[in-house]
Structure 1
Amino acid sequence: MSATEQATQRETADRSPVSADLLGQLIAFDTTSRNSNLDMLDFLTALFREAGIEPWLTFDAERRKANLFATLPAADGTETGGIVLSGHTDVVPVDGQAWDSDPFVMTQRDGRLYGRGTADMKGFIAACMSRLPRMKQGTLLKPFHFAFSFDEEIGCLGAPLMIDEMVRRGLRPDGCLVGEPTSMNVVVAHKGINLYRCRLHGRAAHSSMPHLGVNTIEYAARIICFIRDMADSMKADGPFDSCFDTPYSTAQTGTIAGGVATNVVPDACEFQFEIRNIPQVEVGAVYRRISDYVERAIKPAMKGEWEGADVALEQISNAPGLNADEAAMMTRLARALTRDTDIRKVAYGTEGGQFQNAGVPAIICGPGSISQAHRANEYVEIDQILRCEDFLNRLIGSVEA
């Protein structure tokens, strides 16, 4: 532990986070991605209204989930510009995990707050909400925006709806702070995460006469091996970015389903694969190598056995990579407030790249460690929440008269 970290721990040893009770209330909402998040948004909306702020929502197609966006204007009433505080409301499942306590009841022990979402990332949301009184008491020269999205954990599906509406309303923030867990260090880049589905349609037959059928599992295996060979090539030949723990783009197949019995030629198979590209790599070019292979080699071979055979590729989700500009206001401000000048890049994705693509420079900095996310007994250290609250106070002070 560095001398600075030791000093910070001494300073915060006798303090309790203002946002701890609020975090406990947020943890109690089971916002696992398969569930609705509307009850949690109702709770947050009530807090905003108490502060005189009226949020707006953008819904999914079934209106079971929503994003929440709220703006605290500058002292002169200006709503455009300013800083976005961005986080996601959904959490990953606890199914099959061995927890020592109820994951949806926040538990404090040994200087830590345990519960699903404490680190990823309701701790940041609670810290932001707890700063509302601090924001209201000052004289803001620029507005603050709160952007809380749904379905980040399954591909950042909700944030684009919210960002599109933000742009439509002409808000045009100057920068975005994404509060994913970084141990309150500044992260300036992350990989793009792109998820795809491949469906193969063949013809069933008795396995004693395979020439009468089209075996979709075997053809799926050829595509999967091609994806693996391509991944091996990227690992060996790059391009590389040494700032990432895995310094090259990756691709892998994650799920596969097909077939009904060992003595039946399978007429259907489906698998999903992902590409995680470093910012320097255009993911479309990587995907085209796969789709070209399917069109050139796989489809003709399948149709040669039976004209009705087919292969369909589709993109399920796209969370573009983030590559922050060191000269951008948001990057310079975050570095000044944290005194952190190190270059950090991560393999996980966030909505930061989506804000960046909409013209809003973004960085990542939030409480807790990503190593605790998605695990049983997920926790955030109390010191991390205190550091986040202090950072947000300095951030507010940076735009006060």
Structure 2
Amino acid sequence: MHNPPNADRLARCKHLLAELVAFPTVSSDSNRALTLALAEYLEDSGARVWTQADATGEKLNLFATIGPECDGGVILSGHTDVVPVAEQPWSSDPFVMTQRDGRLYGRGTCDMKGFVAACVTMAPEFARRNLAVPVHFAFTYDEEVGCFGAQALTASLQKRGIRPAAAIIGEPSQMQVIDGHKGCFEYTTWFTGLEGHGSAPDLGVNAVEYASRFVMKLLELRKALQARAPAGCPFDPPHTTINMGLLAGGVAHNVIPGKARLEWEMRPVQPSDADFVKDALERLVQDELLPEMRAIHPQADIHTQIVAEVVGLLPEPQNPARDLVMALTGANGAGLVPFGTEAGLFQTIGIPSVICGPGSIAQAHKPDEYLDETQLDLCLHMLDLLGDRLERGPVT
């Protein structure tokens, strides 16, 4: 992608990025101050802004619009939360952006405050244009822990009747065009049995044994999912996967364990696979495991907690968002990524979606996270070309 130099624009964006990095918006903490600062920047640029709070009031989504009140515009989407820095060996303060050798170091520079800064930097330029359709800004909370902000925001967009023609999710893709990734469904299943002396196993309810039977069912389902792989599926592997991440229970070799915990995940390539797995597990629990457990101990239980259910982004033959960003960047194709994003949530409510943003996922979540200045400049140039395109009319 040809990128005419614009040193002033890049300097303004870097200054804003440094301000955003200085807000320590780890997902466990509030993003309120950062979001209100972004709202002020955008309002000063002429945007119409509204925010949406979670139940605590400490987490905020932001949605802003520049241009006419009509359908057919484009959403620029990013999340404001970052992953923790605790126990990571940073060589500088992670919440003070530093510049070295053309790289911008700091927590969130790459994932993904760089894209957010680029969008907000371009807001005054969008406002000066005679846009035929609007550009929207969607900045969310809690992406890193389950895309909870985007779930609330997309529901609100539906309720408000906001119907953009495309969404660009600026996750770090090295400005490559990405039109697909698997979903990520994470769970913790708790098993409550009845403790007792190991010499009389029939008098207790062994939570670890029942957890093990649950695991064996997951292993059976893993094989069944391979046979359910859709024809021509582009993912690698081309089927839904299941992984057991942690199994813990018991206190000693001679005690019947009364508690067990299983942490597991699946990565669906199609929504029906998730239903297939959950239905099979529900039958196992209700028809076999719980009746056996409660025959000995009526208070025995199996409970599955949903940690996160983030839908995938399904590659589609017709995708106006992908085609738009390919035209803006000069790309001649689109790819897939192994990590999850908020893109599938926008796709689910009928907004064609694509991933394209500055930086590499290889630098995300690590100590000394950084973003190359050249990537930031490429992103600004893409957004400038987007403004040209939106002056001409709807993208579909």
User: TM-score scaled to structure 1, two decimals?
Assistant: 0.90
Query: Letter of the aligned partner of 1:19 in structure 2?
Result: C
Q: Is structure 2 residue 220 aligned with structure 1 residue 226? A: no
Q: Quick one: which amino acid aligns to residue 166 of structure 1? A: L
**Residues 236 and 380 (structure 1), Cα distance of their counterparts in 2 relative to 1, 3 Å cut:** farther
Amino acid at match of 2:15: D
Match of 1:94 in 2: 85
> In structure 1, what is the equivalent of residue 54 of structure 2?
60
SS of equivalent to 1:217: helix
Aligned residue among 33, 39, 53 for 1:39: 33
Mark the CA change 1:94 to 1:292 in structure 2 (over 3 Å): closer, same or farther. Answer: same
Cα offset, 1:250, TM superposition = 1.2
Q: How does 1:238-249 map to 2 (within 5 A)?
A: 238-239=229-230, 243-249=234-240
Residue 277 of structure 1 aligns with an amino acid whose one-letter code is P
**Cα drift, residue 156 of structure 1:** 0.8
User: Aligned AA for 2:20?
Assistant: L
User: How many matched pairs?
Assistant: 391
The DSSP-based 3-state class of the residue aligned with 1:52 is coil
Sort the Cα spacing of 1:14 and 1:137 in 2 relative to 1 into closer, same or farther, 3 A: closer
* Distance in 2 separating the partners of 1:234 and 1:186: 28
Once the 2 structures are TM-superposed, how far is the Cα of residue 281 of structure 1 from its aligned partner? 5.3
Per the alignment, do residues 232 and 101 of structure 1 end up closer, same or farther by CA in structure 2, a change over 3 Å counting?
farther
Percent of aligned pairs with the same residue? 39
Is the 2:207–2:257 contact (alpha carbons within 8 Å) kept by the matching residues of 1?
Answer: yes
Quick one: distance in 1 between partners of 2:211 and 2:171? 36
Look up the match of 2:172.
181
Q: Distance in 1 between matches of 2:208 and 2:232?
A: 36
Residues in 1 aligned to 2:55 and 2:327: alpha-carbon distance in whole angstroms: 41
- Cα distance change of structure 1 residues 156 and 309 upon mapping to structure 2, 3 Å threshold: same
Deviation at 1:287, TM superposition (A): 2.4
Q: SS at 1:26's partner residue?
A: helix
Deviation at 1:245, TM superposition (A): 4.1
Alpha carbons of 1:98 and 1:242: their partners in 2 closer, same or farther (altered >3 Å)?
farther
Please give the alpha-carbon distance, in whole angstroms, between the structure 1 residues aligned to 2:246 and 2:71. Answer: 43
1:48 equivalenced with 2:39 (yes/no): no
**Match for residue 19 of structure 1 among 4, 13, 36:** 13
For residues 179-226 of structure 1, the C-alpha deviation after alignment (integer angstroms, 9 at most, x for no partner) is 011110110111111122212121121333332211112211221233
Q: 1:233 to 1:366 in 2, by over 3 A?
A: same
1:110 to 95, 98, 101: 101
Superimposed CA distance per residue, residues 277-302 of structure 1 (whole angstroms, 9 cap, x where no aligned partner): 11475321122223333334322332
Tell me the amino acid that sits aligned with residue 372 of structure 2: E
Deviates more, 1:368-377 or 1:291-300: 291-300
Deviations 1:256-287 (A, max 9, x none): 44334444322222222211011475321122
Corresponding position of 2:347: 356
Shift in Å at residue 366 of structure 1? Answer: 0.5
Structure-2 change in CA distance of 1:99 and 1:235 (3 Å): farther
Aligned to 2:206: 215
Letter in 1 for 2:102: G
2-side partners of 1:305 and 1:241: how far apart? 49
* Long gaps (5+) in structure 2: none
| CA distance 1:81–1:98, change in 2 (3 Å) | same
* Alignment correspondent of 1:370: 361
Where in structure 2 are the equivalents of 1:231-380 lying within 5 Å? 231-232=222-223, 234=225, 238-239=229-230, 243-279=234-270, 282-380=273-371
Q: How far apart, CA to CA, are the structure 2 residues paired with 1:224 and 1:335?
A: 43
Give the Cα separation in 1 of the matches to 2:388 and 2:7.
Answer: 24
In the alignment, the residues of structure 1 paired with residue 100 and residue 223 of structure 2 have an alpha-carbon distance, to the nearest angstrom, of 44
Contact 1:81 1:143 in 2 (8 A): yes
Report the equivalent of 1:204: 195
Can you list the C-alpha shifts for 1:319-375, whole angstroms capped at 9, x where unaligned?
111124343322211111112122311221111111111111111110111111111
Which of 376, 381, 390 pairs up with 1:390?
381
CA distance in 2, matches of 1:71, 1:288: 42
**1:81, 1:171 within 8 Å by CA — same for their partners in 2?**
no
**Contact 2:225–2:273 under 8 Å retained in 1:** no
Distance in 2 between residues matched to 1:95 and 1:224, nearest whole Å: 32
Q: Secondary structure at the match of 1:43?
A: helix
Q: Deviations over 1:37-80 (max 9, x none)?
A: 10111111111221233421222122221111111132xxx244
Q: Secondary structure at the match of 2:293?
A: helix
The alignment partner of 1:386 has SS state of: helix
Question: What is the SS of the residue equivalent to 2:184?
Answer: strand
- TM alignment of 1:72-87, pairs within 5 A: 72-74=66-68, 78-87=69-78
Runs in 1 of length 4+ with deviation above 6 angstroms?
none
Contact 1:243/1:343 (<8 A) preserved: no
**RMSD of equivalent CA atoms:** 2.3
Q: Which amino acid aligns with 1:379?
A: Y
CA displacement at 1:304 relative to structure 2: 4.0
Aligned residue identity for 2:201: P
1: CA distance, partners of 2:6 / 2:322: 29
Q: Is the 8 A contact 1:103 1:116 kept in 2?
A: yes
